[in-house]
Structure 1
């Protein structure tokens, strides 16, 4: 039996049961009106700002529902099974892994799973030392700083590279021990490319069973990348002309078609947005144009793209 939870604005939970291809809709059961889903409201605000990522958003909402019912069962003196929340994030750069890690750290704090809910970001250099004994010490100190919060290790697969004399494996072994010694005191999230993370899990036989939650972050589509660019532009108080949007979309769509490995998605878009703003600044200084509309407007000629299929600068002077 599978349960799906949806939340209404009136603090009600609708439960829909699907079994043997039959749908039985159960009427919403009322919750004490004094009870509010404030953590959910905060979560929804953050989720609504994220472009795409529908499956990830569903999993995060599902996690909230589980945590909420978990607490309710505790209050009712019903059996609750201790759950490990260590996670694996798999996907290319710029697909929102760090953003979701921050969002989850706030959620775990708001739901009382973690007392602090702070996020410690780390990479290989933060764990691996240069001489014998240093790696274990650095890794233990990193975990100590993470207690009460979330330890997010990006490109975690790099710990499994370097050969037999490399200290990366020592870092992995130390992490596994720390996960056992500090059970329920922190949450570890390991992130990296999908294929490389599968290889990483084979480095230590105790790793796969310690990560019950795996989230896959797909690449964005061309239209989603354009939406991300438009959001970044709005956040910086700029606007793009229609021609600029068309030009940028064609370029982003071409990048998707090329399907280059490890495409950096949102990071690629952010770099282009920042470059557009610099190009616009150069143009405005050259044109001696500083009125409000000019200062806000990104035009097609501000997109310095090395692509002959795009509109030329003369198309929008």
Structure 2
């Protein structure tokens, strides 16, 4: 559905002698003489349009008449409306009402939103230019839109927001310049080049591809969507620039009904769908009467139904992936071709230019050079981070220039773009505080030293090349392989060895596809997501599974991408020691490209005690000496069993103790109040050994239950 705003200025024909002769006559005489030419009955015009609304593909209604200016709203179900087509339709309708074609000048013709169109129809009713009932809105396809807007006004909540982008591109160079200005990722630049390709058909047929945008914030995603839509519209790939942004869905029958109607109204326009928002009900505990499994199926069905005429731009906010999201995107890729686009980043110079661009967009004065220098030090920044800096700059100027009494007030100051995972402690500090791992800490020191030496060589005009930093971690479960890999990404970002410090974790299920051609596409997507950071492939030996050829295809593709993106992505493989040896020997190219092989040893009892103390401290729990003695005895027995779990065993032991404490305190809560001190203190009785399931024992149902604590302990 396409909606337009039209404004007309009614005027006389200057070439008419009769009109010229009557110019000096009183106005009421002029209107009487030429009433049928210049003063049509717009109420009758609306009645005629209403009568034909069911069968007409285009409907036009007058909603305001003020002196000589008349405002109209136009609704087209599937046809792109032009000024000439709108004029012909209005003239034909006026002719059927017995009015000769009036003389008028078209002052304004532009696309508008569904909300503005509905407001205009309500205004027409208020001005007594339109008298309709509830069936009228259904006849013109506005029934669900009306229900949604009225529901949103009552509850101050909305399933969908809509807007028309203001950015416009005259040619390809303008589009690419704008993408650079908004710190666009190379995937967006590449897609814009495809959109402007000379061999493309320039009229709308249907959508050959749809998009999935990966961004850290909704504002950053919106900038990418606006640029994308502007380029597609300029090349005839879209009939409408209107963007309907779906961000909420709870799976209820009322939401399903409204969403279906809004998607119908989005035909020939753009539907941006925020995946975390529409799948939020599927990620939370089920609500009475809502089948969470039906939420993804509903959207898959509706998107498949409208994909030919509606451009779908899926939006993924944040870095974390979940199983529901992965399955949803995978199933959707069976239905339509999806191009992945990512939020970009820029250096400090590009970020300062971006901030001034935003100041122009927000209609605020440009920022001082000193302020920009203070808040944008050397480094790289995403648009999301730049928007946070923009807010801080505005606040700084507000305090300094308008409310100077608050200029020197010490407020909480957050540090942007520092990849921390434990409060304000840097990744380097976190790694140094971890128990054991001396070999890993020494390796990180060597990498940093080599990078600094490379910088010195560049100053001395000596030739040099970047060494490969791909790694392999081997060790039993619970040896902190994943944690260390994540911290290494943050440390390398701090030292500016990598640009983003992004950490992407994946396994066989994320890389190996079910059908031919999917595997390479999945792997390339993961490398794109990890650009400027670390791609961590856990249990990498599972790729060497001989059950089908896709595993070897995955290994070969990974080797190729490791070489192509050696300066942009660090790959870390992880797995059990014996199985990783077989994996690394499957491909000689893979073996030669891994520069560092780190072995993570099992923790000894004393190190496990240190880990337990650290975990308890993070949770605000207190351990007395008696607890530590008892746990030391538990750990001495645990380390005698192969694959006992290391750090995971410690976490499970502490979790079980916390559960026993909760049971103990809640039973006594009726007699004694639970204080902060009681909640923080554990007792020796709370800690009991957790049985370890040995590999050679195979219980009938695949897991073992600890009778003393009712905790399921994984094998």
User: Taking structure 1 as the reference length, what is the TM-score of the superposition?
Assistant: 0.79
2: CA distance, partners of 1:293 / 1:109: 40
Q: Which residue of 2 aligns with 1:106?
A: 490
Q: Which ranges of 4 or more aligned residues in structure 1 deviate by more than 4 Å?
A: 41-44
1: CA distance, partners of 2:464 / 2:551: 36
Indicate if the aligned counterparts of 2:428 and 2:487 stay in contact, CA closer than 8 A: no
Question: What is the RMSD computed on CA atoms of the aligned residues?
Answer: 2.1
1: CA distance, partners of 2:690 / 2:649: 14
Give the Å deviation of 1:271.
1.5
Q: Which residue of 2 aligns with 1:245?
A: 628
1: CA distance, partners of 2:623 / 2:579: 38
* Counterparts of residues 109-188 of structure 1 (less than 5 Å): 109-163=493-547, 165-188=548-571
1: CA distance, partners of 2:564 / 2:444: 27
Deviations along 1:52-94, one digit per CA (max 9) or x if unpaired, are: 1112212212222222222222222223233011111111121
Indicate if the aligned counterparts of 1:279 and 1:304 stay in contact, CA closer than 8 A: no
Deviations along 1:104-156, one digit per CA (max 9) or x if unpaired, are: 11122222222111100111100011111111111111111111111001100
Indicate if the aligned counterparts of 1:68 and 1:111 stay in contact, CA closer than 8 A: no
SS in 2 for 1:187: strand
Deviations along 1:234-291, one digit per CA (max 9) or x if unpaired, are: 1100111222211111111111123x1x332111111111111111111111233512
Give the Å deviation of 1:207.
1.0
* Counterparts of residues 24-103 of structure 1 (less than 5 Å): 42=426, 44-103=428-487
Which of 637, 650, 653 aligns to 1:269? It is 650
Indicate if the aligned counterparts of 1:244 and 1:303 stay in contact, CA closer than 8 A: yes
Indicate if the aligned counterparts of 2:627 and 2:683 stay in contact, CA closer than 8 A: yes
Residue 586 of structure 2 corresponds to residue 203 of structure 1: yes
1: CA distance, partners of 2:428 / 2:551: 38
Give the Å deviation of 1:44.
4.3
2: CA distance, partners of 1:172 / 1:264: 28
SS in 2 for 1:207: helix
Residue 662 of structure 2 corresponds to residue 281 of structure 1: yes
User: Taking structure 2 as the reference length, what is the TM-score of the superposition?
Assistant: 0.36
Residue 575 of structure 2 corresponds to residue 192 of structure 1: yes
1: CA distance, partners of 2:428 / 2:616: 22
1: CA distance, partners of 2:690 / 2:500: 47
Which one is further off, 154-163 or 105-114? 105-114
Q: Which has the higher contact order (CA 8 A, sep 6+)?
A: 1
Give the Å deviation of 1:42.
4.3
Aligned residues, how many? 267
Q: Which runs of 5+ in 1 are unaligned?
A: 1-37, 313-317
Give the Å deviation of 1:228.
0.4
Which one is further off, 73-82 or 215-224? 73-82
Deviations along 1:18-56, one digit per CA (max 9) or x if unpaired, are: xxxxxxxxxxxxxxxxxxxx99x9454222320111122
Which of 196, 218, 226 aligns to 2:609? It is 226
2: CA distance, partners of 1:107 / 1:79: 26
Larger-gyration structure (1/2): 2
1: CA distance, partners of 2:629 / 2:610: 12
